[in-house]
Amino acid sequence: MSGLGNRPYLKMNGIGNEIVVLDLTDGSHAVTPAEARAIAAREPFDQLMVLYPPQKAETDAFMRIFNTDGSQSGACGNGTRCVSWYFMPVAGKDRLLLQTPTSLVESRRAGQGFTVDMGPPEFEWQQIPLARDAGDTKAIDFSFGPVDAPIIQAPSVVNMGNPHAVFWVDSDPADYDLGTIGPQIEHDPLFPERVNISLAEVRSRDHIVLRVWERGAGLTRACGSAACATAVAAVRLGKTERKVRITLPGGDLLIEWRESDGHVLMTGAVELEHEGRFTADWFADAA
C-alpha cells in the first residue's frame, strides 16, 4: 500500500501552470514516478512539487519536481512560487532557500506574488545538454520542417536548471501548431535529456510573447523556467534589455537577468484552487 493514502495536498496554479504541492517534510515517504502518474490521473497537474526534509545547512527544504509523465525536472519557476505561498507561513519566514537535484533557488514575497531567484543560466552545449556541439548556443544548427523551407530554426539553447530550446518567430506564437511540433522536437536525438520548447515573439525591447511545450507535460499555459531561458537568450542576442515582461497564455511574468551576479529573477502571481486529500485507492496500481 502506498504511504500517500490520506495525505493532504494543495492544487494551485502559477499563471495557469497547473501545480500540486505535497508536503512530505516529515520524511515519512518518497514519491515514486508511478505514484506521481497516479496523482496526475485523478488531480491533473503540469508539475507535482514535493517537499522533503532539507539536505543542506541553511536550506529550508529539498524539493523534487515531477512532470505529468512521472519524469523529473531540476527546476520549475511557477511551481516554486506556489510552494513559497504554502511553505513560507509553515516555516515562519518571508524568504526560502530550496534545493532541487540541480539547483538552489531562493524566493521572497513581492506584493501579491513572489520573486524566485532561479540562479545563473548555463550555455555550454554539454550543460544543456546537447548530444553534440551544434554551434553557437545563441543560435544552434537545428531546424524543424522541410529542409528547404523550415517552419522554425536556429533555436537558442539554455539550461535554467532544466533544458530549454527557444525558437524566435516573427508572428504570434499561437499561429504555430506547437502541439504537433513540440513532441517531435522534445524527442529529437540532439536532446539526450529531452527539452522544453518555446516559441518566442519579441514585441519590443521589454516585452516578449511566449508559448511553451513542456518536456514531460506537453502544452502548458505558462512555464517559468522557459520565460527565464527566453529572457536570457534574448539578451545574449541583443534583442531586449535585461528586464523584460513575458506574456504567456496564462498571464505575465517579469524576468530580470541581473547584471551583478548573472542570476535570473522571476516575479509573478500564484493562485490556490483547492485543498484535497489523496485516498489509498488512487495508488492501487502504483505499487
107 belongs to the binding site for ligand API (CB under 6 A): no
Q: Which of 215, 221, 239, 245 binds ligand API (CB under 6 A)?
A: 215
Q: Tell the smallest beta-carbon distance from residue 162 to ligand API (Å).
A: 3
Annotated binding residues for substrate: 17, 47, 67, 77-78, 162, 196, 214-215, 224-225
Does 76 help bind ligand API (rule: CB under 6 A)? yes
Phi, psi of 76 (to 5 degrees): -155, 105
In 3D space, the residue among 151, 144, 183 whose CA is nearest the CA of residue 170 turns out to be: 151
Shortest distance, position 212 Cβ to ligand API, whole Å: 8
Provide the minimum distance between the beta carbon of 87 and ligand API in the complex, in angstroms, as a whole number. 17
* Main-chain phi, psi angles of 65, to 5 degrees: -120, 115
Among 73, 103, 198, 247, binds ligand API (CB under 6 A): 73
Nearer to ligand API, 2 or 99 (CB): 99
Where is 159: in which H helix or E strand?
Answer: strand 156-159
Rounded least distance, CB 160 to ligand API, Å? 8
Element containing residue 235 per DSSP (H, E): helix 224-236
Residue that the C-alpha cell 514516478 belongs to: 33
Measured distance CA(202)–CA(123) in Å, rounded: 21
SS3 at position 249: coil
By CB under 6 A, what part of segment 129-158 binds ligand API?
none
- 127-145 burial, b for 16+ CB within 10 Å, e for fewer? ebbbeeebeebebbebebe
From the list 2, 17, 159, 247, which residue makes contact with ligand API (rule: CB under 6 A)?
17
Compute φ and ψ for 280, nearest 5 degrees.
-55, -35
Contact range with ligand API by CB under 6 A, out of 54-62, 91-99, 212-220, 269-277? 212-220
Terminal-residue alpha carbon distance, the chain? 7
Q: Which of 13, 67, 99, 107 binds ligand API (CB under 6 A)?
A: 67
- Residue from the set 70, 119, 155, 216 that interacts with ligand API by CB under 6 A: 216
Point out the catalytic residue in the list 223, 229, 232, 234.
223
Q: How many residues bind ligand API (CB under 6 A)?
A: 19
78 part of the interface to ligand API, by CB under 6 A:
yes
Burial of 236 (0-12, 13-18, 19+ CB in 10 A): middle
77 binds ligand API (CB under 6 A): yes
Is residue 70 close enough to count as binding ligand API by CB under 6 A? no
Q: Which is nearer to ligand API, 121 or 224 (CB)?
A: 224
DSSP 90-135: HHT-SEEEEE-SS-EEEEEEETTEEEEE----B-STTTTT-SS--S
Determine whether 223 is an active site residue: yes
Does 46 interact with ligand API (rule: CB under 6 A)? yes
3-state DSSP: the chain helix, strand, coil percent, rounded to 5?
Answer: 20, 35, 45
Least CB distance to ligand API at residue 146 (A): 28
211 binds ligand API (CB under 6 A): no
Q: How far is the CB of 68 from ligand API (least distance, A)?
A: 9
Euclidean distance between CA atoms 232 and 191, whole angstroms:
20
- The catalytic site residues sit at 76, 223
